[in-house]
Amino acid sequence: MKRKLLALITVLACLGVVGPVTAASADYGPTAQYQIAFSFNCNNPGFCGADQLGGFWGWAVFNTDGTADAELTGCGHLKGFGGGAQHFDADVDGWFIGPNGDFFTVNETDTFVGRTTGTQFLPGPNDTGIPAAPGHYSTSELLGFTPPPGVAFQVQVVKIPNR
């Protein structure tokens, strides 16, 4: 259970939805086919570990032309040491819905600003762990368990009609 949670956090932290050193367009334009919002919070030291507290939040858009954009912000809370925020833009050159029903990304570039800066390229395909079926997904639906207090994962997937 913790291994699956850690895998999802790792994939989503790098989201497999990223882009070149240029700034992401960050807009739901006329080619937007799916809009996704997500919130991941792990603030229970007994479950998350004292050095893994915090969360990240963001949105993504998957376009009809095969591209995708995302904006994500994360914040860690190190017990006794504080924490800090990190933001990144993600631009994706290709995406598809995999056989498991999740969004997969191809050739993603992440541009980081905040505590650290830089660019990371992730060749694909990469499973985002986000279901492509429209709906609202909670921790139990995403990871298969009821979370303890202080742990919440939420994803909202919207398919834009006629696209």
**The pTM is what?**
0.76
Rounded mean pLDDT of 4-26? 39
Nearest to 70 by CA among 26, 14, 10: 26
Number of domains in the chain: 1
Domain that residue 102 falls in: 2-159
Where would I find the H helices in 16-159? 45-48, 139-143
Q: 114 with 87: CB under 8 angstroms?
A: yes
CB atoms within 10 A of CB 22: 11
Q: Are 127 and 16 in contact (CB under 8 A)?
A: yes
pLDDT value for 116:
79
**What are the Cα distances from residue 79, in Å, to 10, 44, 87, 151?**
21, 11, 21, 16
pLDDT tens digit sequence for 63-96: 999 999 999 998 887 665 666 788 889 999 999 9
- Residues 92-150 have pLDDT tens digits of 999 999 999 999 999 999 998 877 789 999 898 999 999 999 999 998 888 889 999 99
